[in-house]
A = this chain, B = another copy of it.
Amino acid sequence: MKTRILLIEDDENITELVRYNLERSNYVVDTAMDGEEGLMRASEEAPDLILLDWMLPNLSGLEICRRLRRSPETANVPIIMLTARADEPDRIRGLETGADDYVTKPFSPKELIARIQAVLRRVRPALAGQKLSFEDISLDNVSHRVMRGDVLIHLGPTEYRLLRHFMENPGRVFSREQLLDSVWGHDVYVEPRTVDVHIRRLRKAINVNGLTDYIRTVRSAGYALDSRR
């Protein structure tokens, strides 16, 4: 699932510049031309981050920021202000109002993206890495969650570690002994055949309905997480 960013900005040139660069960096960009529209979009779309112009027709950026923070739906969405006003009192006022950061125009796309990532890393660690994915399976180590498509999957501790190990090394075949070593630990003695049972449990858990089974059995070698059959 891509990270969605809402851009509230009235200058079309900037809008297009930002959209182009963010989309190239794999973000989904939604835009609003003024404050009213911005507030509406923000509560409807629940974006992961908001880029907010300081100078807007009708409502000022500062006021938007205040309102976004007040509404429970958007109170926790990080906000980066875009501003031409580089003077210190304004910067301080912006930060005090609840913006998480601000970028002064003219800004370079690279810096904007670096700032976005820095803010996201803080606010939603899950959005900035730490997340493994393979085809439509995703595993988040921070929240310990596994999803297949958008279905939440429950795994026992061992199946979780097993899947994580596979997802950390996709495509690679592991023998039962290797799996026991790296998933169970070098010091535990467990029957190699036990691995079969856990593979079974993992398969059962992640292949809800008739979904394709990405765990490939390699006869007399072991198992692998793999898209090819």
Contact = CB atoms under 8 A, between A and B. Distances in A.
Interface of A: 72, 75-76, 78, 88, 91-92, 95-96, 98-101, 108, 110-111, 114-115, 117-119, 121-126, 131, 133-134, 138, 142-144, 152, 156-157, 171-173, 218-221, 224, 226, 228-229
Q: How many copies does the complex hold?
A: 2
B156 A219 contact: yes
Contact of A144 (B108, B111, B218): B218
A144 B224 contact: yes
A69 to B, nearest CB: 9
Contacts of A78: 122
A99 B118 contact: yes
A63 to B, nearest CB: 18
Contact of A88 (B91, B111, B125, B131): B111
